[in-house]
């Protein structure tokens, strides 16, 4: 049998539970409601303001009642995996994915849009920093092995998340997936780039860590596409590799 918690710990749990969900949890007896209400408003307003700032598109398209209902539901029942405030948007995405799935009235694209908006913050605070000087940018990207930046991520969505706003809210997935690269360049600016399926596959191959050359990766893309003229894919792919390099999505090739 577990020992009963000390009184001061029980009070802390009661205090926190009442702040998170005052309708279901009573406040500590020795704290007047006026003071508890100040804490409840302070904590909730901080969380709500932070979420609104990090998910601006979702906030703009969601009416006030539904927005506050969603944030209060997240605040009251989601158990975060980290105490760090900048990680809270990731917790909110996890809540949407695992605890609020198929909630009536939510747009079908909500989870994907939240993930898309969260990725900007995730990259902006990432501790990864490429060792730029270790890579040769004046190199043959076809015959050498291009390295993809750790600050670049290729994403696939069912909905065109980069086009969603208050005036454009699709009710069905697109006919084809939407492919997007989100990346942070050497000036630490975060950008998004829409790409197609072959470029998405090219980046996947380069990121697998098998020291594959640009030509080998493009040959595999052409084979998977069953392209009648692989030379066309390789020729066009060479320009694509150079463009990815110019955007700092590809770092170059490792110096030996």
Residues shown for the chain = 256
Q: Residue 144: its pLDDT value, please?
A: 95
Rounded Cα distance between 237 and 141, Å, is 10
User: Does residue 156 contact residue 92 with C-beta atoms inside 8 Å?
Assistant: no
pTM: 0.86
Mean pLDDT, to the nearest integer, of 174-187?
A: 95
pLDDT in tens, 211-230: 899 999 999 999 999 999 99
Confidence bin at 103 (pLDDT 50/70/90): confident
Residue 17 clears pLDDT 70, i.e. is over it: no
Strand 147-148 and strand 152-157: pairing? unpaired
Residue 81 has pLDDT above 80, yes or no: no
Write out pLDDT tens, residues 18-73.
666 667 766 667 766 777 677 778 888 888 999 999 999 999 999 999 999 999 99
The answer to whether 157 touches 177, Cβ cutoff 8 Å, is yes
The answer to whether 218 and 233 are in contact (CB under 8 A) is yes
Measured in Å, how far apart are the chain's first and last C-alpha atoms?
A: 62
């Amino acid at each position: 049998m577990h020992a009963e918690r000390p009184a001061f710990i029980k009070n802390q749990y009661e205090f926190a539970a009442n702040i998170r969900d005052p309708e279901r949890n009573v406040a500590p007896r020795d704290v007047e409601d006026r003071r508890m209400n100040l804490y409840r408003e302070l904590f909730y307003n901080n969380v709500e303001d932070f979420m609104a700032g990090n998910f601006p598109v979702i906030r703009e398209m969601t009416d006030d009642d539904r927005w506050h209902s969603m944030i209060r539901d997240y605040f009251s029942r989601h158990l975060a995996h980290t105490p760090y405030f900048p990680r809270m948007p990731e917790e909110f995405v996890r809540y949407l994915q695992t605890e609020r799935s198929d909630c009536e009235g939510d747009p079908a694209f909500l989870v994907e849009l939240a993930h898309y908006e969260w990725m900007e913050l995730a990259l902006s605070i990432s501790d990864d920093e490429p060792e730029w000087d270790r890579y040769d940018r004046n190199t043959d990207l076809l015959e050498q092995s291009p390295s993809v930046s750790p600050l670049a991520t290729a994403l696939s969505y069912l909905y065109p998340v980069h086009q969603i706003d208050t005036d454009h809210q699709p009710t069905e997935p697109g006919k084809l997936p939407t492919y997007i690269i989100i990346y942070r360049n050497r000036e630490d600016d975060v950008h998004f780039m829409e790409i197609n399926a072959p470029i998405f596959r090219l980046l996947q191959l380069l990121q697998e860590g098998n020291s594959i050359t640009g030509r080998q990766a493009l040959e595999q893309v052409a084979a998977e596409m069953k392209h009648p003229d692989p030379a066309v894919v390789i020729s066009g792919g060479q320009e694509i590799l150079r463009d990815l390099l110019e955007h700092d999505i590809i770092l170059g090739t490792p110096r030996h």
